């Protein structure tokens, strides 16, 4: 009688691997983090005050700069994500203009909106202090949102079309940042800038200091344009004005390089030579006495005010320091010393 085979013992069950669960958890964590990043960057509401707000984009602004500004102002996070999105999904540059951002719009929607100039509500026009009338006209000609009615005319024809009673347009238009409707005419824009400049000039002239060496307010405008070109520091405007006013009163020549440059016109290539300083033009204040016949740039309201209110110091010279700003002196000996100090700074930087 054969004996039955003994029952085999059950094999011990193998433990289930924990790797798939770990991988799944990591993937889930990555997805959650990605959602948080996207929500905090692209899909976050663009912060505005009220139901809507205007967003101005200037000529030359870039997406990179726009995004960096948002991050700096704590309006957005994860700039790398925003810049990557722009590269992959927008494929275009910022378009200058003024856009309406409505409550609830995401940063992604705003980024898409400002890539299309047709979305702009208004046109932003920047007229920089110290630029020339020629540069203003060229900017208007290149602006696709401006209707071009008069910018193609000669200077005399343009002044006649604008009903401006001056023989030369330089200095007559106020520099500032303006917002005009899309399709506004260059005639309307220039007329508005002219009206603003004349208002600023009239107000400053009415409140001017006593004993100024100007025959009329136009000569004060000429002086304001020279002051504008000589310094970019508001704190120096009245000091520069004081130097030139005292020179006029003493019968000294102004000897200011910006007037020479303006008189050279297109011949100026970035450097002034001794020959340039000796070559007479109506604007060369090294060879002529008094003020040049017209302004040499578009002066700001601050420069106009400075022309009417020179400082009360004794200085009749000034020279750049080489480190920003100028050194003002009352006699030739001190001025020559300041020039040598300036040259030493320039040599040390080479």
- Residue 107 near residue 76, CB atoms below 8 Å: yes
Q: Are 149 and 103 in a shared domain?
A: no
- Residue 78 near residue 69, CB atoms below 8 Å: no
Q: Are 54 and 134 in a shared domain?
A: no
Q: Are 165 and 281 in a shared domain?
A: no
Task: State residue 28's pLDDT score.
Answer: 66
> What is the H or E stretch that residue 53 is in?
strand 52-57
Q: Are 91 and 170 in a shared domain?
A: no
Any domain includes 35:
no
Any domain includes 325:
yes
Task: State residue 33's pLDDT score.
Answer: 64
Q: Are 65 and 155 in a shared domain?
A: no
How, if at all, do strands 122-127 and 326-329 pair?
Answer: unpaired
Question: Could you give phi then psi for residue 317, rounded to 5 degrees?
Answer: -135, 155
Task: State residue 95's pLDDT score.
Answer: 87
Q: Are 54 and 152 in a shared domain?
A: no
Q: Are 311 and 222 in a shared domain?
A: yes
CATH of the domain at 104: 3.30.1490
Task: State residue 38's pLDDT score.
Answer: 58
Task: State residue 286's pLDDT score.
Answer: 97
Task: State residue 15's pLDDT score.
Answer: 57
How many domains, the chain? 3
End-of-domain residue from the set 170, 203, 236: 203
End-of-domain residue from the set 119, 138, 164: 119
Q: Are 110 and 175 in a shared domain?
A: no
End-of-domain residue from the set 86, 101, 119: 119
Structural domain of 276: 211-349
Q: Are 228 and 336 in a shared domain?
A: yes
- Between the alpha carbon of residue 308 and those of residues 7, 174, 197, 206, the distances in Å are 116, 17, 15, 9
Q: Are 227 and 305 in a shared domain?
A: yes
Task: State residue 229's pLDDT score.
Answer: 97
Task: Report pLDDT digits (tens) over 192-251.
Answer: 999 999 999 999 999 999 999 999 999 999 999 999 999 999 999 999 999 999 999 999
Task: State residue 18's pLDDT score.
Answer: 62
Any domain includes 24:
no
Q: Are 302 and 343 in a shared domain?
A: yes
Task: State residue 1's pLDDT score.
Answer: 44
Any domain includes 9:
no
Q: What is the pTM of this model?
A: 0.76
Any domain includes 11:
no
DSSP structure string for 205-253: HHTPPSS---SSHHHHHHHHHHHHHH-S-GGGHHHHHHHHHHHHHHT--
Any domain includes 63:
yes
Per-residue pLDDT of the chain (350 residues; tens, 9 = 90+): 444 555 545 555 555 556 776 666 566 666 666 655 556 667 788 888 888 888 888 878 899 999 899 889 888 888 888 888 888 888 788 888 888 899 989 888 999 999 888 888 888 899 999 999 999 999 999 998 899 999 999 999 999 999 999 999 999 999 998 988 888 999 999 999 999 999 999 999 999 999 999 999 999 999 999 999 999 999 999 999 999 999 999 999 999 999 999 999 999 988 999 999 999 999 999 999 999 999 999 999 999 999 999 999 999 999 999 888 999 999 999 999 999 999 999 888 87
Q: What value does the mean pLDDT of the chain take?
A: 89
Any domain includes 243:
yes
Q: Are 199 and 215 in a shared domain?
A: no
Any domain includes 31:
no
């Amino acid at each position: 009688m054969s004996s039955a085979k003994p029952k085999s013992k059950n094999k011990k069950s193998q433990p289930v691997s924990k790797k798939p669960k770990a991988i799944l958890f990591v993937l889930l964590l990555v997805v959650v983090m990605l959602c948080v990043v996207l929500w905090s960057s692209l899909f976050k509401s663009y912060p505005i005050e009220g139901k809507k707000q205007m967003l101005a984009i200037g000529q030359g602004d870039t997406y990179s700069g726009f995004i960096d500004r948002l991050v700096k102002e704590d309006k957005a996070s994860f700039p790398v994500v925003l810049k990557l999105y722009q590269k992959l999904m927008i494929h275009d540059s910022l378009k200058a203009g003024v856009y309406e951002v409505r409550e609830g719009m995401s940063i992604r929607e705003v980024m898409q909106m400002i890539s299309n100039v047709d979305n702009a509500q208004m046109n932003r026009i920047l007229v920089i202090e110290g630029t020339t009338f020629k540069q203003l006209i060229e900017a208007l000609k290149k602006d696709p949102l401006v209707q071009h009615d008069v910018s193609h005319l000669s200077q005399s024809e343009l002044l006649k079309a604008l009903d401006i009673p001056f023989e030369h347009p330089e200095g007559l238009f106020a520099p500032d940042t303006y917002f005009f409707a899309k399709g506004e005419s260059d005639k309307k824009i220039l007329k508005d800038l002219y009206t603003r400049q004349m208002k600023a000039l009239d107000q400053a002239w009415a409140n001017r200091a006593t004993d100024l060496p100007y025959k009329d307010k136009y000569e004060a405008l000429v002086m304001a344009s020279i002051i504008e070109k000589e310094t970019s520091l508001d704190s120096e405007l009245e000091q520069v004005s004081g130097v030139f006013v005292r020179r006029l009163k003493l019968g000294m020549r102004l000897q200011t390089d910006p007037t020479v440059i303006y008189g050279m016109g297109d011949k100026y290539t970035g450097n002034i030579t001794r020959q340039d300083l000796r070559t007479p033009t109506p604007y060369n204040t090294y060879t002529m006495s008094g003020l040049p016949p017209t302004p040499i740039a578009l002066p700001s309201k601050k420069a106009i005010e400075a022309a009417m209110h020179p400082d009360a110091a004794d200085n009749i010279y000034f020279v750049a320091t080489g480190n920003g700003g100028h050194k003002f002196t009352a006699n030739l000996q001190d001025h020559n010393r300041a020039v040598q100090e300036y040259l030493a700074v320039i040599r040390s930087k080479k």
